[in-house]
Chains A and B, each alone.
Chain A
Amino acid sequence: MTKTSPLIFCVLPFALAACMFATKSDVDRLQADLMGTRAGSSAADSVQRAYLVDVTRSVRMLSDSINAFSKRINTMRTATETDLAAMKEDISQLQDMSGQSERQLRDMRAAVEEKAAQGPPAGDSTSLGVGAAVSGPGPGQLLQAGRDQLLKGGNASARAAFAELIAKYPRSDLVPEAMFYTAQAYAAERNAESADATYASLIAKYPTSPRVPTAMYKRALQLQATKKTAEAKRLFQDIIKRFPRSDEAALADERLQSIK
């Protein structure tokens, strides 16, 4: 067993006491540091919390703004869609009314020509007809007569009336109509070739006639029926390009999809 020096027993209490004093002051310092740190941390927390509150508020405001904006956009979109639908309806109505007016005008014109053809009242030598009195029925009458025949199934008679119109009144604005109905009469007779040729002539001679999109569509259908798919496709595309708002453009688009 090792023997312990008596000197150690004398020095040890002093050393321990010194250590004790040193530790206490350190602890105090440490405590002070901790308190300081805590205070600093607490202050930083407050700042951070305030900052977070700010950020949250900003985010909420931004979100509210986005929602409000989104609502406004939706409202605007709905309004726009409603407006567009209404505009579409208005356009359709205008087209319908325009079609009706044109028809009524044609009927009136035929009636006027008929009256003129009856000649001036007895004794009135100054009245002059619109040409119809001199040379038979006017263009309006001929168109009406042809259409009447067409309705009754008298396709050849109808074509004769339209041909007379075209021959006697080549500058009449009713010529494209007469050509269109001539093609219709041929189609009713199952003479697809002549119908197609007449539609082609109408498209070439009167490219601004409202009958052109229909004539083009009929031609494209005929091409498709005779297996000339590439030509039909081109014509369908042409309808969409030239008359995008027409009913025939929508039909052409549908046909193109089925070709693909």
Chain B
Amino acid sequence: MNLRALCISLVVVAGTSVPAAAARAQDTTTTPGVRLGLSYAAGTKPGVIVLPVRGDDDDSLRVIVQRDLDYSDRMTVIALDAPTLEGLVPAAGEKINFPLVAKFGAALLVRMTPTTQGLHVAAYDVAKGQLLQSEHFLFDRRDRDWRFALHGVSDQIEQWTFGKRGIAQSRIAYVNEGELRIVDSDGAETRSITTGRGALSPAWSPSGGSVVFTVLGNAGTQVQELDVRTGRTRRVSQIRVGLNITPIYQPGGNAILYAQGSGNGTDLVLAALDSGAPRKITIGKGTDNTSPSYSPDGHQIAFISGKSGAPQVYIMDADGSNVQLLTPYTPGVRSYRASPDWSPDGRAIAYEQQMGNFQVFMIDVRDRVPKQLTSEGENEDPSWAPDGRHIVLSSSRGGDKQLWILDTESGRARQLTHSRGARLAAWSPILANPEVGTYSQ
């Protein structure tokens, strides 16, 4: 079984008046009075304590959930030693000592209780001393993907707390030594999904079920699509042999937009997955137009063009018209910009800019004011997380080039991979079915 952490019971919004929901809420606890989200001081990161799980001998459930909440950068995990934590777990029939929990600075308390079918998870608003929300998750430690299922629990806790789902249940595809690999958002469970060499520029489908990427071969570069669940791959047939690079899915998932090179420059072309010849979206006339990224609504495309000299980030309508320079142009300064990625909330575009070495920037689509996000080491190839807040990038800040995750709001960075040469990362959407196969190119 794959993602068993799908809820079987209700998400109980306390005080709900939906009778059907109330009828199914037999194994959930609810508190009278309506509330959505946690009570905590505005502008602060609320403290959270995750209680130890009974029967979880290696403490891994608590550790994974606590780490996910920490990596969300929305909460401050309160680290307590084991005896103190045990002291906070109420004995059978006793109530949670909220005043004591509050003394440690926690605004949220998470309690997970194993059941015969999975895991009962309850989140408490410490300030109010009451249940925020609870839910029963199907969960089995014997499942291959139990860790990934548990990430879903963490994301649901974030949903209860902030009204916005977390990003723990997502993966990052990247290239290492020509192989395509994927890794969970917390850096665990790295695996290769191709066994050949020459893979480049992976991009996830909107559903997260497949990845499109470029394979460097004798006859140029080919665009291939890989079903992540089955490991089956297929060449996107109507894409001819030659230079075919930086493919991405159209937001609907029915076509692939990529850069096709010829003797007369490189242009963006759109190839429907089922039929039809690729259609040109840009007409560069000798210039290079590459690295497309769709806006979330699919109406616009950000891309790199050298039509004004040095490569710059442009945006245009999805039909190729209404081209506008996005990154500010300074006469006489030959700035070099590349790898744009449109944020999932549509508000900003991340890109890399050469300033001696490469650094990652983001630019607000409305104000068009760039903001430098990195300065330590060399930082390239940004890709947004589904929350529109975190970015994965390849960075040399730790010595070797590795993937790092950067919180664009706080500037906090954490290392994701620990194998040399990781690059060209692409963050998946929230994944519903995480099973992954392998295939040989």
Contacts of B35 in A (CB 8 A): none
Q: In the complex, which residue of chain B has the Cβ closest to the Cβ of A144?
A: B366
- B321 x A100 contact (CB < 8 A): no
CB of A68 closer than 8 Å to a CB of B: no
Q: Report A-chain residues with C-beta under 8 Å of the C-beta of B319.
A: 217-218, 221, 251
Q: Which DSSP category, helix, strand, loop or mixed, fits chain A's interface?
A: helix
**Measured between alpha carbons, how far is A253 from B284 in the docked complex, in Å?**
13
| CB atoms of B283 and A251 under 8 A apart | yes
Q: Is the CB of A99 within 8 A of B309?
A: no
Q: Scoring B residues 396 to 432 as 1 if CB is less than 8 Å from chain A, else 0, what string do you get? A: 0000000000000000000000000000000000000
Q: Using an 8 Å CB-CB cutoff, how does the interface string of B284-303 with A read, 1 for contact, 0 for none?
A: 01100000000001010000
Chain A residue at minimum C-beta to C-beta distance from B314: A96
A254-B365 contact in complex given A93-B309, A97-B329, A151-B347, C-beta closer than 8 Å: no
Taken together as a complex, chains A and B put the C-alpha atoms of A203 and B361 apart, in Å, by 38
- A161 shortest CB reach to chain B, Å: 14
| Chain A contacts for B93, CB-based, 8 A | none
Contact, CB under 8 Å: B322 / A96 = no
Residues of B within 8 A of A184 (CB): 299
- Given contacts A188-B297, A250-B283, are A92 and B307 in contact (CB under 8 A)? yes
CB interface residues, A 53-82, toward B, < 8 Å: none
Instruction: Report how far A251 CA is from B331 CA in the complex, Å.
Output: 28
B280 and A100 contact, CB distance less than 8 A: no
List CB contacts (< 8 Å) of A192-220 with chain B.
213-214, 217-218
Bound CA–CA A96/B327 (angstroms): 10
Question: How many interface residues does A have (CB within 8 Å)?
Answer: 31
**Given known A-B contacts A188-B297, A251-B283, A147 and B328 have beta carbons under 8 A apart:** no
**Dominant secondary structure of chain B at its interface with chain A:** loop
Q: Which residue of B lies closest to A218 (CB)?
A: B321
> A217 is contacted by which of B307, B321, B347 (Cβ under 8 Å)?
B321
B329–A100 contact, CB under 8 A?
A: yes
> Closest A-chain residue to B306, C-beta based?
A89
Within the complex, which residue of B297, B323, B366, B368 is in contact with A148, where a contact is CB–CB below 8 Å? B366
- How far apart are B209's CB and chain A's nearest CB, in angstroms? 25
Q: Is B346 an interface residue (CB 8 A)?
A: yes
Asked whether A258 is an interface residue with its Cβ less than 8 Å from the other chain, the reply is yes
List A contacts of B368 (CB < 8 A).
100, 103
| Interface status of B24 (Cβ within 8 A of chain A) | no
Chain B positions near chain A (C-beta within 8 angstroms):
279-280, 283, 285-286, 297, 299, 307-309, 312, 317, 319-325, 328-329, 331, 346-347, 365-368
8 contacts between A and B (CB under 8 A): A97-B331, A100-B325, A153-B346, A184-B299, A214-B321, A217-B321, A218-B321, A251-B283
Q: List 3 A-B pairs, minimum CB-CB distance, nearest first.
A: A250-B283, A96-B325, A92-B308
Question: Beyond the given A107-B367, A247-B283, could you list 4 further A-B residue pairs with CB under 8 A, ordered by the A residue number?
Answer: A88-B307, A93-B309, A100-B325, A151-B365
